[in-house]
Amino acid sequence: MSDLNSYGFGQTGSISTAQIRNRVLRNTYALLALSMVPTVIGAWLGIAMGFNFMAQSPFLGFVVFMAVAFGFFWAIEKNKDTGVGVLLLLGFTFFMGLMLSRLVGYTLNSYSNGASLVMLSFGGTALIFATMATIATVSKSDFSSMAKWLLVGVLLLIVASLANIWLQLPALMLTVMVLAIAIFSAFILVDVQRVVHGGETNYIMATLAIYLDVYNVFTNLLALLGIFGGNRD
């Protein structure tokens, strides 16, 4: 276990040396990049298979999704100090790719410029990530106090999204998307700085947190671009 700890699988702590922090940050970025591979594969397979278990009942689909997601969270947390945790994380990102396939498939099939919208969303997300990660790395300000308010914002977004399954209000949907991009962009700032300052010394858990931030920015940005920039066939 000591060998694994020396490469970033370690206990979460508030204090770590600069060498450990830099190693965890490098490992986090490397695993984050790797996690995009199963995400893309999952999205591609989902589009090819027409995967969409939310079609019959969006609310029930949401419940099933949350159950599977939190099952992965629990398993990853339990195995965060071993290589099994990496495999579970990659399995989770594959699952998230399947969930992403409906949005990507809709964008590609519904808009003549769908491929451009997907690439634009990818580029926009990458720019947001690079900006927030840079600020988190070089800024002397402490953004950790934002976390609890951002979490409240996420809970409100979930409630609003569930309510809109029945309300079907376009204005509420757009508001949720815009706020989601802002909230999860800020979460990138908080989560990256947590690693930089030694608040998180386990790169599997750090990667999971940042992956979810990036994923939510991408999906909401793509949905917005489709609404405002999509060209119907």
pLDDT at position 5 over 50 = no
Average the pLDDT over 28-33 and give the result.
96
| Tokens found for residue 155 | 């809970």
Out of 16-20, 82-86, 109-113, pick the least confident. 16-20
Question: What is the Cα–Cα distance from 36 to 41, expressed in whole angstroms?
Answer: 9
In a domain, 40, yes or no: yes
Average the pLDDT over 69-98 and give the result.
96
DSSP label of 145: T
CA atoms within 13 A on the CB side of 211: 28
In a domain, 5, yes or no: no
pLDDT at 58: 79
In a domain, 50, yes or no: yes
Average confidence score pLDDT of the chain: 89
In a domain, 4, yes or no: no
pLDDT at position 185 over 60 = yes
Label residue 4 by pLDDT band (50, 70, 90). Answer: very low
CA atoms within 13 A on the CB side of 221: 24
Label residue 223 by pLDDT band (50, 70, 90). Answer: very high
pLDDT at position 178 over 80 = yes
For the whole model, what pTM was predicted? 0.90
For 33-54, how does the pLDDT look when each residue is reduced to its tens digit (9 = 90+)?
999 999 999 999 999 998 877 6
In a domain, 158, yes or no: yes
Label residue 19 by pLDDT band (50, 70, 90). Answer: confident
Average the pLDDT over 141-170 and give the result.
92
Residue 27, SS3 per DSSP: helix
Q: What is the DSSP string of 28-46?
A: HHHHHHHHHHHHHHHHHHH
Higher pLDDT, 206 or 2: 206
pLDDT at 15: 47
Q: Residue 72 belongs to what domain range?
A: 18-229
For residues 42-60, one letter each, b for 16 or more C-beta atoms within 10 angstroms of the residue's C-beta and e for the rest, the string is bbeebbeeebeebeeeeee
Label residue 232 by pLDDT band (50, 70, 90). Answer: confident
Out of 33-47, 52-66, 159-173, 198-212, pick the least confident. 52-66
CB neighbours of residue 140 within 10 Å: 4
Question: What is the Cα–Cα distance from 202 to 194, expressed in whole angstroms?
Answer: 11
In a domain, 10, yes or no: no
In a domain, 174, yes or no: yes
The number of folded domains in the chain is 1
Report residue 42 CA to chain centroid gap: 15
Average the pLDDT over 101-106 and give the result.
94
In a domain, 3, yes or no: no
pLDDT at 55: 66
CA atoms within 13 A on the CB side of 6: 3
